[in-house]
Structure 1
């Protein structure tokens, strides 16, 4: 049995929904990618009294209480969140935090892993299964959306992401994307999604984006992602102030990157984080340098990341008591 467990869960990009029409009996479906550069790192150990420290402490406390009740645990714990993915930035912070706490507690108390159960218990994956799928496996995945019997949207495809390709993130620390009740209200105000648009997205994913990934064709991959983002961005614009990007400043930088040759530009989830792809580190650096003036003037952050082809890291530690 371990004395302490550390879990590291990585940020993700939500590259777009597949089918928000739902005419075939399933709705949503998502395309997502695990990335480095932003992560949630936490540790947990038994303690004389419960202590929760670090970012997202209130949310973490709620998760820990639910998990203790579910597993029938009565011990107290010291849970330290050493670093956290920025909240409500479109990078999957909530799901990664919840699943990291669950995975760490299970490892500490030798409870068998059950990712789907954790996702349902902690109310993650209401619309998208990519957060849980990427926590488990990394890479680029597609989930199959929600049907009548769905507990957690199933992963239906998973591919490695090319290790020489780079992801450029543009973050706006001054804004938050829709979440919670605001997100539910935003979905409620949107019109029905056009079935033909859903068909085009599914075709772009299956016949363009995934084959391009398999053949390491960043031009075709980027074209597919950019078109998906155009369709999805136009649909969500009424809930985002009439624009496909929540942050006007991020939108300007994304246009600058696109003009200089960045591939597959878009907004992750509800934003405000924007993303783009480059064929290698040198190209990513060139593009970032060209956009730096706009980034600086607007008070944004720009980060170069890689895709990650592995899931979260969970490690137990055993140590002798100090005498």
Structure 2
């Protein structure tokens, strides 16, 4: 990114992502975590930035705190930053990372500074466990990172594949719950036992020899089976910290209903509470949503159908 990109004003849109699970939470071979995820349509964070003599933020306090940190860490000039659209916070959609990347990369582009998303993420304190949000910002698609080694910064991206255009993700939102974050999240990771090595080995084997080839060949059933297995293994491991395989009992009941109907590519994004279920086409997604909405008792859930997003952030000057 060079000086010719400097402009009187910049607008940036950073897409939401689903975090679809970890491969090795124990780090038995020296690298810990290893994430898979996907960028999605329908949700994103949009910022408008203009030059200013001092920092001016039109948005929540957390954006101003973040902006001040980025200005200090990256030695960037100030700007006026306006939040236009935001990913729901603490719902498992990557709101914190996308806000940081949108702000940092927006400031860099506004002022013609050659910064990378990785540099911005480190300055903002993001990407400590997963590189999926950064890769979603850069490229979109289905993403796998290599986890953290002893000397790692941001986990390296190992695989990026496009998601078939016809596939759809049903998102199940429960406004009554929030996923673990901040200090509570850090404490949860410290208190959980070491992840069983045989589960890590099975997850890696399934992803490499079933899930990724299935995605490359648009084999919906085999990909969904892999995704569901990894989600079940992760959910059962995190159950002591989040009260069960899923954070929200209402989301859990809806996912059980979908599983009983034969759907396999389902689970929870990050710490939730947002659940998801993968469908092979828009028609089956819409049909199942109608049935699920009729079957739900007591309400409380918000259902959205989105697609995979095969490109990253968008800019407009």
Could you tell me the TM-score, scaled by structure 2's length? 0.95
Q: Please tell me whether residue 6 in structure 1 is matched to residue 5 in structure 2.
A: no
- Asked if the contact 2:179/2:247 (under 8 Å) is kept, the reply is yes
Which of 10, 13, 31 matches 2:36? 31
Provide the secondary structure at the position in 2 that maps to 1:193. coil
Per mean C-alpha deviation after superposition, the further-off stretch among 59-68 and 205-214 is 59-68
- Asked if the contact 1:12/1:32 (under 8 Å) is kept, the reply is yes
Instruction: State the number of aligned residues.
Output: 312
- Asked if the contact 1:99/1:118 (under 8 Å) is kept, the reply is yes
The alpha-carbon deviation at position 59 of structure 1 amounts to 1.9
Which of 210, 213, 220 matches 1:211? 213
Q: 1:270: which partner in 2? A: 271
> Equivalents in 2 of 1:20, 1:168: separation in Å?
27
Q: 2:72: which partner in 1? A: 69
The alpha-carbon deviation at position 46 of structure 1 amounts to 1.8
The alpha-carbon deviation at position 267 of structure 1 amounts to 0.4
Which of 228, 232, 235 matches 1:233? 235
Q: Please tell me whether residue 41 in structure 1 is matched to residue 42 in structure 2.
A: no
Deviations 1:227-268 (A, max 9, x none): 111111110001011x10000000111111222233311000
Provide the secondary structure at the position in 2 that maps to 1:15. strand
Deviations 1:19-67 (A, max 9, x none): 011111100000000001111111111235533223xx22211221122
**1:120-269 alignment runs, 5 A limit:** 120-241=122-243, 243-269=244-270
Q: 1:53: which partner in 2? A: 58
The alpha-carbon deviation at position 79 of structure 1 amounts to 1.1
> Equivalents in 1 of 2:134, 2:218: separation in Å?
25
Deviations 1:258-280 (A, max 9, x none): 22233311000000000011110
The alpha-carbon deviation at position 296 of structure 1 amounts to 6.9
- Structure 2: gaps (5+ residues): 1-5
The alpha-carbon deviation at position 200 of structure 1 amounts to 0.5
Q: 1:311: which partner in 2? A: 312
> Equivalents in 2 of 1:116, 1:14: separation in Å?
18
The alpha-carbon deviation at position 196 of structure 1 amounts to 0.3
- Asked if the contact 2:17/2:40 (under 8 Å) is kept, the reply is yes
Q: 1:321: which partner in 2? A: none
The alpha-carbon deviation at position 314 of structure 1 amounts to 1.9
- Structure 1: gaps (5+ residues): 317-323
> Equivalents in 2 of 1:145, 1:294: separation in Å?
40
> Equivalents in 1 of 2:23, 2:191: separation in Å?
19
